[in-house]
Amino acid sequence: MCGINGLFAHAGGQVSRAELLATRDHMIARGPDGAGAWYAPDGRVALGHRRLAIIELSDAGAQPMATADGRYTLVFNGEIYNHGELRAEMEALGERFRGHSDTEVLLRLYARDGAAMLPRLRGMFAFAIWDALERRLFLARDPHGIKPLYWSDDGGVLRFASQVQALLAGGATPRRVSPGGLVGFLLWGSVPEPFTFYQGIRELPAGCGLVVDQAGARGPQSFWRLGDALAASIEAARAIPVGEEIAVLRAALADSVRAHLVADVPVGAFLSAGLDSSTLVGLAREAGLDIQTFTVTATELRGKDSDEAPHAAEIARHFDVPHQVVSLTLEHAHEGVPAFLAAMDQPTVDGINTWFVTEATRRAGLKVALSGLGGDELLGGYPTFQRIPGIRAEIPRLAAGAPLAGAYRQLHAWLAQVFQDRPTRAGEKWAAAADPRAAYLWQRGLFMPWELSRLLKPEVVRAGLAELASVDTWEAAPPGLNDFAQVSLLESSRYMRNQLLRDADWVGMAHSLELRTPLVDQRLSEQIAGLAARGRLGAGKTALAATLARGLPESILKRPKTGFTLPIWAWLSKVEELSAWKRNPWLRRTGTDVYARWGYSVVARLPECEELLF
């Protein structure tokens, strides 16, 4: 896990070394263990790297890394979990390696196979490779989008980095809020890929590669699509005999957990009272790992049903793992919330819970921790798996008649103009019945499109919606996906990718902690998603506990799902640094409900976008 950046003056001229270093060193928390820089002899290309050493702790894993002949130079962020088997394959063909890093395997594999290697990589990754012979830069990002990669192409210079704020810190990219990014954030609570909060900066879509040569950027080109994987997995599930489902699930989960334990440093785990993290810890113990677990709670939660700490401690005792409970107080919030806002890469309405548990894990001396993120999207744990099909079935005529739904949308927009805040979110249900994506927005949206006129200047709303419409921000759904698979695709490619995974990356990296997600794995998706979509794994995530040799305590199995909860809103009202929202005229005019639904990140981003507000 690291921070990467680079510049390529594809239209001619030389890149700025000062800009490279300023961008790179803005990401020092992503890589406190070392730093490197490489410059092409003609000065037109430069690559930077900050290192968090996890695999191959010696200098043999340092970056930027070049092939012996100097043709290829690589900077890489992430982990390739199957690097051992890829290395063995190449060694059998005569290849020899200097060290045992996954970085070197990635570099040699690209030198041999080029972009054709991408589907063979199992892991989380974002990387850039310069080909000195072809005069070409190649960027790529992992299938699920676990690792981010941001880029801009302005004035004949291609720039990329692991964080948006790092690109801005380089000094050459203007800090101008994007209407599309702002509108997208208000609609969803996170900025939808490939947009960012700033004009001119894009996120490379998940599962894509980008080629940049003297003609500029070409692409992105997809090498893996979740929708296609879902369709293929549903078809493959036909061949799995009835009664073998749990065995297949256990084998696939155990394989993913083993892969995600590959490290030359100790690995810990976040442990809530939920099935996801409990199953991962149990399988890690079965794999022979002495794993340390962490739970965060708050003094205000003691004695309440929402306090997961006692249940997490019970699970830790059940698996006989060392366990640490961090009990947060208002004093922690006074210190932590401002630091959280200062480190935030792009605005988000989530991530604060992860901030505190990540901080506690890093303070315990760990560099790597497993997270249960992804189980709800894979196995149908969210209420949306029932609600969205229910919305569409509620008004079957509209579900079959998109033109009527479109007419209703026009009427609804007119009513919103006339009556301002009188139309209700419930009215969107009629339009949502015609389109799973509209139904998903109705369920997951922070604000509805017709509400934007209360928040932003009309011209900003128009410009933002036009920007969002200019690029398809939705993952393509192959024909024939059933309701479950459609919701799984929506949750995975929208909420999980744009919010949960993005927040996990920048929050973890702010504490120099690598978060690994065994339930977000392309092989696991390909093996298990079809069984889940066919309803052969039972309701929600109940099948997870059945994969454990020791099972789970009965009290845990019968406990209702509560989610990871901290008394954030109670803390925010008492943190002096955040009291500005109460005095801001825009927030006062639009009501405190806006603050509650926009979230605490409004305080951090309000000065940047004030001129765009209504």
Mean pLDDT on 530-547: 94
Which residues are within 8 A (CB) of 251 and not within 5 positions of it... i.e. 6 or more apart?
A: none
Q: Is there a cis peptide before residue 310, judged by omega within 30 degrees of 0? A: no
Which residues are within 8 A (CB) of 507 and not within 5 positions of it... i.e. 6 or more apart?
A: 340, 343, 351, 354, 355, 358
CA 39, CA 17: separation in Å to the nearest integer? 8
Q: Quickly state the pLDDT bin for 206 (edges 50, 70, 90).
A: very high
Instruction: Between 556 and 195, name the one with better pLDDT.
Output: 195
Instruction: Between 31 and 396, name the one with better pLDDT.
Output: 31
pLDDT of residue 391: 77
Backbone angles phi, psi at 138, to 5 degrees: -120, 125
Query: Quick check: 587 and 602 in contact, CB under 8 A?
Result: yes
Question: Do 2-224 and 226-576 have matching folds?
Answer: no
pLDDT of residue 429: 57
Best CA proximity match to 2, nearest among 74, 70, 98: 74
pLDDT above 90 coverage of the chain, percent: 67
Instruction: Inform me whether the pLDDT recorded for 230 exceeds 90.
Output: yes
pLDDT of residue 580: 56
pLDDT of residue 399: 42
pLDDT tens per residue across span 398-413? 444 445 555 545 554 5
Indicate the range of 146-155, 374-383, 480-489, 571-580 predicted with least confidence.
571-580
Which residues are within 8 A (CB) of 230 and not within 5 positions of it... i.e. 6 or more apart?
A: 478, 481, 485, 488, 489, 525, 529, 530, 533
pLDDT of residue 556: 80
Type and span of the H or E element at 105:
helix 102-113
pLDDT of residue 581: 54
Indicate the range of 13-17, 239-243, 299-303 predicted with least confidence.
299-303
CA 421, CA 303: separation in Å to the nearest integer? 40
Mean pLDDT on 543-556: 91
pLDDT of residue 423: 44
Best CA proximity match to 341, nearest among 487, 507, 474: 507
Indicate the range of 63-72, 83-92, 346-355, 523-532 predicted with least confidence.
346-355
Mean pLDDT on 220-225: 96
For the chain, the domains span: 2-224, 226-576
pLDDT of residue 290: 86
CA 609, CA 595: separation in Å to the nearest integer? 15
pLDDT tens per residue across span 15-25? 999 999 999 99
Best CA proximity match to 368, nearest among 265, 286, 287: 265
Q: Quickly state the pLDDT bin for 91 (edges 50, 70, 90).
A: very high
Instruction: Inform me whether the pLDDT recorded for 419 exceeds 90.
Output: no
Instruction: Inform me whether the pLDDT recorded for 342 exceeds 70.
Output: yes
- Which tokens go with 389? 């099909």
- Which tokens go with 75? 């900077």
Which CATH class for the 226-576 domain? Answer: alpha beta
pLDDT of residue 436: 83
Q: Quickly state the pLDDT bin for 71 (edges 50, 70, 90).
A: very high
Backbone angles phi, psi at 435, to 5 degrees: -150, 125
Mean pLDDT on 358-385: 94
Mean pLDDT on 474-478: 91
Instruction: Inform me whether the pLDDT recorded for 86 exceeds 60.
Output: yes
Does CATH place domain 2-224 in 3.40.50.970?
A: no
pLDDT of residue 129: 98
CA 511, CA 16: separation in Å to the nearest integer? 29
CA 532, CA 543: separation in Å to the nearest integer? 10
pLDDT of residue 191: 95
Match 């005569």 to its residue by tokens: 94
pLDDT of residue 337: 79
pLDDT of residue 304: 77
pLDDT of residue 421: 44
Instruction: Inform me whether the pLDDT recorded for 415 exceeds 50.
Output: no
Amino acid at 56: E
Q: Is there a cis peptide before residue 220, judged by omega within 30 degrees of 0? A: yes
Residue 295, helix vs strand vs coil: strand
Say what the alpha-carbon torsion angle 11, 12, 14, 20 is, to the nearest 10 degrees: 10
- The terminus-to-terminus CA distance of the chain in angstroms comes to 41
pTM: 0.92
Residue 496, helix vs strand vs coil: helix
